[in-house]
Amino acid sequence: MNNEEILKLVNNNPDSYVQIIKARDKKFYNTINDRYTGDKFGEKLYQYIYSNTGQCKNCGNKTKFKSFTTGYTEYCSKKCSNIVTSSKRSETVIENNRNNRHVHYETKKCLVCQNDFESLKSRKQKCCSAKCSGIYVSSQPNRIEKIKETKFIRNIKAIKDKRKDLTLLKNKKISLTI
Ligand SMILES: [Zn+2]
Ligand SMILES: [Zn+2]
């Protein structure tokens, strides 16, 4: 019996193909039974035809044999199937993020070297690199002055706030002692 004949026979007689093969070709039946391992003749025949012994796609452990038409289950356990599906899921997330990049990123021209660069839309990045940023900042003396100025004002405000807190504390203490 060749593979084609066997497959046809199984297809036409899904419930009784074992008996039919046994009756039609006892020698073949015995050979399959001896050479392959499995709980049932159907499983052994499946291994003979598809040279598939049922190995978990994740860990390589033996998987459950369902039937000749369905074959083996893909994974040995729920755990293994979950590991693979969840890693597939995170791959999809990464892929989606990549496709959605244009939503969050835009291509800008560096003000210093004129090269295109990608930047988050939410960031007001003007240069492609730290090096260019340095050149850009140093070419804008007013800007540096401004930064210094705001920093200075901020510092003074912080000092004032601290003083205010201190006097408040002092007053509190006084009112407590009184
Ligand atoms: Zn497994
Ligand atoms: Zn640049």
Q: How far apart are alpha carbons 31 and 146 in whole angstroms?
A: 91
> Nearest ligand to the C-alpha of residue 61?
1
> Nearest ligand to the C-alpha of residue 115?
2
Q: Indicate whether 173 pLDDT > 70.
A: no
Q: What percent of the chain has a predicted confidence (pLDDT) above 90?
A: 51
Centre of ligand 1 from the C-alpha of residue 84, in Å = 10
> Nearest ligand to the C-alpha of residue 129?
2
pLDDT-derived band at 145 (thresholds 50, 70, 90) equals low
Dihedral sign of CA atoms 22, 27, 32, 38 in order: positive
Kindly report whether the global pTM for this prediction surpasses the value 0.85: no
Q: Compute the chain's Rg from CA coordinates.
A: 38
Task: Kindly report the number of other CB atoms within 10 A of residue 74's CB atom.
Answer: 14
| 75 and 63 Cβ atoms separated by less than 8 Å | yes
Nearest in space to 21 (alpha carbons), one of 177, 40, 66, 161: 40
pLDDT of the residue at 148? 72
pLDDT of the residue at 178? 56
Q: Which residues surround ligand 2, an ion (CB under 5 A)?
A: 110, 112-113, 128, 132
Centre of ligand 2 from the C-alpha of residue 124, in Å = 14
Centre of ligand 2 from the C-alpha of residue 129, in Å = 6
> Nearest ligand to the C-alpha of residue 111?
2
Looking at residue 62, the DSSP 8-state letter turns out to be B
Centre of ligand 2 from the C-alpha of residue 134, in Å = 10
Round the average pLDDT of the chain to a whole number and report it.
87
> Nearest ligand to the C-alpha of residue 126?
2
pLDDT of the residue at 103? 80
Q: In one letter, which amino acid is 37? A: T
